[in-house]
């Protein structure tokens, strides 16, 4: 039988020198595996005389236990060392500020909707909503647009299909946010102060028109709300929205079936050097339609026109976004071009507020 001390020295040295768990496993197999050196020696015990077998068996068992213990200890040591190395490599200073990572951007239309909402919320307007597939009663009749009224044609309406033989007038894709006025008054009555931002649809498509676009409607009804209140509200809005100290608005007499009197509102601006500046210069830019809500509209919404009066306005959100952020083509708004979105988009965490700044 080989000298057990020599064997012991050989294996313990090998174990101490093993660099990883794979090397350790090789040593274990060489010594204690089924065909390992020590295992084979144990098998040879069977052919020995009983006394010699007892002595040699005990010695072999001791050696086996020693090697086994050394293997386990080395294995644990290697695991500890690996963990230490990982901990050292993955050390992290949790007190460092987070690194900003772009996770997409806020679309300019969403940004402007949030800005408009923040400004009017600050003036006490709540947000109202209505459906995009609208009945012709809310989209037209209740707004004093009779079936034969030319405004119905002007709106280039998309009609929803009805089942064949169904005599009811078809629903429409709402052509403006004005029907939300009716819904809000029906639901809440007067007094009321709401804005209604949302999608609208018209059959139109060029550099400044898309078949789907966005408007925001405004409505304020009380006992003595006048045109003067409308003017102040809109001036205040424009100052806040365009983030300029001075704005000048021009009210131009106009006509809408749902308001009387009606006014289109222009804002003073300059195009000097091809760049739009709001609040200075000698040009005027139309930004919205408005007026005093027609008594028939109040009545259609269940509000008594003998007791209540107020103003309404409607403006294009996409157009506001183009003006404020210098975006030349409306069609690009809805093409989902990632380069465009990265260029014109806003950081996801920057929520516009009146006190914190709208577009910083
Ligand atoms: N609904 C009109 C449009 O889409 C905009 C508008 C004009 C809304 C005057 C109003 C208003 O509330 O008073 O062209």
Provide the pLDDT for residue 331: 86
Q: What angle do CA 10, 12, 17 make, to 5 degrees?
A: 95
Give per-residue pLDDT as tens, 182-227.
Answer: 999 999 999 999 999 999 999 888 877 889 999 999 999 999 999 9
152 has a pLDDT exceeding 80: no
Same domain, 22 and 162: no
- Report the 10 Å Cβ neighbour count for 7: 18
Task: Identify the helix (H) or strand (E) that includes residue 220.
Answer: strand 212-222
Å from CA of 255 to ligand 1 middle: 10
pLDDT for the residue numbered 360: 63
- Say whether both 54 and 111 belong to one domain: no
Same domain, 193 and 54: no
The domain boundary, picked from 35, 58, 89, lies at 89
341 and 233 share a domain?
yes
Residues with Cβ within 8 Å of 239's Cβ and at least 6 positions away in sequence, in order, are: 245, 246, 247
Of 212, 131, 211, 216, nearest in space to 171 by CA: 131
Q: Is residue 83 part of a domain?
A: yes
Q: Looking at the structure, tell me whether residues 74 and 156 fall in a common domain.
A: no
- Do 32 and 172 share a structural domain? no
137-150 pLDDT, tens digit per residue, is 999 999 999 888 87
Q: 96 lies in a domain?
A: no
Tokens of 122: 């600050």
How far is residue 64 from each of residues 8, 43, 46, 143, measured CA to CA in Å? Answer: 9, 13, 17, 97
From 89, 124, 143, the end of a domain falls on: 89
pTM, rounded to two decimals: 0.72
Number of domains in the chain: 2
| Cα 108 to ligand 1 centre (Å) | 22
> Cα dist. 90→82, 84, 86, 95, 289 in Å?
12, 10, 6, 15, 61
Which residue's alpha carbon is at the smallest distance from atom 8 of ligand 1?
314
Measured CA to CA, the distance from residue 188 to residue 177 in angstroms comes to: 17
Domain assignment of residue 37, given as a range: 4-89
Polymer length of the chain: 360
Question: What is d(CA 359, CA 350) in angstroms, rounded to the nearest whole number?
Answer: 8
Is residue 334 within 8 Å of 210, Cβ to Cβ? Answer: yes
Same domain, 123 and 77: no
Tell me: the pLDDT tens digits for 89-114?
998 888 988 887 777 889 999 999 99
> Within a domain: residue 326?
yes
User: Are 170 and 62 within one domain?
Assistant: no
Mean pLDDT rounded to a whole number for the chain? 92
68/183 same-domain check: no
Is residue 322 in a domain? yes
Alpha-carbon distance 129 to 268, whole Å?
31
Neighbours of 307 (CB within 10 A): 9
Last residue of a domain, one of 57, 89, 121: 89
pLDDT per position as a tens digit, 219-271 = 999 999 999 999 999 999 999 999 998 899 999 999 999 999 999 999 999 98
Task: Extract the tokens encoding 91.
Answer: 């050390």
Neighbours of 260 (CB within 10 A): 15
Evaluate whether residue 296 is within a structural domain: yes
Q: What is the pLDDT of residues 160-169, one digit of tens each?
A: 989 999 998 8
Q: Which of 192, 258, 310 to mutate to test the pocket of ligand 1 (most atoms within 8 A of CB)?
A: 258
Residue 353 lies inside a defined structural domain of this protein: no
Average pLDDT on 34-60 reads 89
Retrieve residue 101's tokens.
């990572």
Report which of residues 246 and 360 the model is more confident about: 246
Task: Give buried/exposed letters for 187-224 (b at 16+ CB in 10 A, else e).
Answer: ebebebbbbbbbebbbeeeeeebbeebbbbbbbbbeee
CATH number of domain containing 211: 3.30.930.10
Residues 79 and 163 in one domain: no
Compute φ and ψ for 238, nearest 5 degrees: -65, -40
Tell whether 359 is covered by a domain: no
Percent of the chain with pLDDT over 70: 99
Place of tokens 């947000």: 127
CA of 299 to the centre of ligand 1 (A): 18
Q: Do residues 221 and 191 lie in contact, with contact meaning Cβ atoms separated by under 8 Å?
A: yes
Task: Tell whether 182 and 247 lie within a shared domain.
Answer: yes
| pLDDT per residue as tens digits for the range 314-359 | 999 999 999 899 888 888 999 989 999 999 998 887 788 888 778 7
Residue 125's pLDDT is 98
Q: Determine the Cα–Cα distance for residues 83 and 150; give it in Å rounded to an integer.
A: 79
Same-domain pairing of 57 and 115: no
CA of 262 to the centre of ligand 1 (A): 9
- pLDDT higher than threshold 70 for residue 1: no
Please indicate, yes or no, if residue 167 is contained in any of the structural domains.
yes
- Closest-lying ligand 1 atom to the alpha carbon of residue 291: 13
Q: Which residues line ligand 1 (CB under 6 A)?
A: 176, 178, 217, 256, 259, 289-291, 312-314
């Amino acid at each position: 039988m080989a000298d057990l001390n020599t064997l012991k020295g050989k294996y313990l040295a090998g174990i101490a020198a093993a660099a990883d768990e794979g090397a350790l496993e090789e040593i274990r197999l060489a010594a204690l595996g089924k065909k390992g050196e020590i295992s084979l020696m144990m098998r040879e015990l069977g052919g020995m005389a009983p006394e010699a077998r007892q002595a040699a068996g005990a010695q072999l068992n001791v050696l086996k236990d020693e090697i086994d213990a050394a293997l386990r200890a080395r294995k644990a040591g290697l695991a500890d060392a690996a963990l230490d190395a990982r901990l050292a490599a993955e050390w992290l200073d949790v007190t460092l500020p987070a690194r900003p990572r772009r996770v997409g951007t806020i679309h300019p239309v969403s940004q402007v909707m949030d800005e408009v909402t923040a400004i009017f919320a600050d003036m006490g307007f709540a947000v109202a909503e209505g459906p995009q597939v609208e009945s012709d009663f809310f989209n037209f009749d209740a707004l004093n647009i009779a079936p034969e009224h030319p405004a119905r044609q002007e709106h280039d309406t998309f009609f929803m299909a009805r089942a064949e033989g169904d005599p009811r007038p078809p629903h429409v894709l709402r052509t403006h946010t004005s029907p939300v006025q009716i819904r809000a008054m029906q639901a809440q009555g007067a007094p009321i102060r709401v804005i209604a931002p949302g999608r609208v649809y018209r059959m139109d498509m060029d550099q400044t028109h898309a078949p789907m676009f966005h408007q925001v409607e405004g409505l304020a009804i009380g006992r003595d709300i006048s045109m003067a209140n409308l003017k102040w509200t809109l001036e205040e809005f424009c100052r806040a929205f365009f983030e300029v100290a001075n704005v000048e608005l021009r009210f131009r007499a106009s006509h809408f079936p749902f308001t009387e009197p009606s006014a289109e509102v222009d804002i003073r601006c300059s195009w000097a050097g091809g760049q739009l500046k709001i609040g200075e210069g000698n040009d005027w830019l139309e930004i919205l339609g408005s007026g005093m809500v027609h008594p028939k509209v109040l009545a259609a919404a269940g509000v008594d026109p003998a007791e209540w009066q107020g103003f309404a306005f409607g403006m294009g959100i996409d157009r506001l976004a183009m003006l404020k952020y210098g975006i030349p083509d409306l069609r690009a708004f809805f093409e989902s071009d990632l380069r465009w979105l990265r260029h014109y988009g806003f950081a996801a965490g920057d929520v516009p507020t009146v006190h914190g700044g709208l577009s910083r």
